[in-house]
Structure 1
């Protein structure tokens, strides 16, 4: 049996076995051009049969199961210690320790724990005591200042009264009398008497007799003894 007959028989056998795969036949190759070195070969028949199993379908990918995860409950507090609050006396029990809305020593309403509330109460008590002490000191200082001012006023009034009394006891000061020069006044001339027998040759004699001075009209007066003519001889 020739090779071509064997190939045909094999092809029929495969068809009978129900092979549904398409058969691929290689395209006939063109015969090379004959040359002196390579004479034309004898004609031959080539049959190529591709055998293979039916294609298998890949299984659909399966979705992997999720890994187990640990869960935990987390509580978020709405208020914390030191936050501002609105209504004094409100309590917040969602946290531990619980919080109380309390007004501290500065007058601020805050959420505080029990320990913080006690501390704030102590601070408030201390602040009130300090304010009372300062108020008492201020009142005492004001009282002392008022007493000192009153004492000074009374002392000034007393000194004023003493000064007035001393001035009242002193004699009234008289104005000084200034001497005003006045024109000399002559004593009135004595009444002229009748001349007597007394005669003094000079003033020495009149003085020796104790008659000087001799006024005009008296015994012994004469113009010779009155040099200035003022009516008085032997001045």
Structure 2
């Protein structure tokens, strides 16, 4: 006889299955309801807040509102319930709406402590501060004595004088042998500023290497008609600028010293020197920023040594550069000190007053013999440098008797070098 499930057991199994199905359906329904409430929680929160405000107004004014809270008790219950609902729905709304300080796509990022690289590690001792304290800006008035920055305080600030009357010849002989070593000043400066100098004889620099301070570039110097101009001798304080800022009041000797003082001369790139022209620090500074401190300090040194003044714009520019290097020293010049120690000669000597002679009878006076005019020096002419050397006149500078362009083929103002 085949076996079969007892009727009571089958009924019990069917009942249990139906119960599980009902639980699942109710669970799904509750979850869906919760999700729906969470989704619409911002709306519920807004409505709850509106009800709470209305209930509060009703209690405050003790009058029914548009929601018809007929009694204070009803309004109180509505207020409490709406506040609770608002708080709950606000909490749910945080699950739906993004926070103001994050984006929807933002994911939490875990930050792990990192150890700084060995090169970046700075130990801070007990006597050190974690953050540097700001240092006081050094000014010309507070700068250490003997620095170029401090010297700015001693420079007079005035406007430019007219350029009227300026001529290069006002500054005397070009490349004068100021140190009396037998060599022109141009060759002395080239020998000082160039490396690997080669000479023709004792003085004439024929080649060398210039690390140009104005551009920072390296220039190979070769003496010649077409190449000498690649390296020029710059007047750090241009003579035209000096003329407009006090040099007019200097004596001829003092101006000549200024024009040939090694303190005021630098071997530089010819193109950069032409670009500078007669500009001061307010309108031109070297392209090589690493040289600007030394350049401006040298300008200040020259102006102090020869008692020249600066314009306000020029002083501001010099101060701006030198505050970045307050220890840059002030340079001195023995040539300037000697020249400036000689007082300027008066323009004309006053003639002594003479008491008038008593009147006397006129007498026949003999006419004095005329003073013979001084003989004009004979024109000096050298056919070539051999003739100049045989006459003991070499080297021949511009303005010297016998100087001519055919003796000065490189055009540097010194012939038969």
Same fold (TM over 0.5): no
**TM (normalized to structure 1)?**
0.17
Larger Rg: 1
Using CA pairs below 8 Å that are at least 6 residues apart, which structure has the higher relative contact order? 2
**TM (normalized to structure 2)?**
0.10
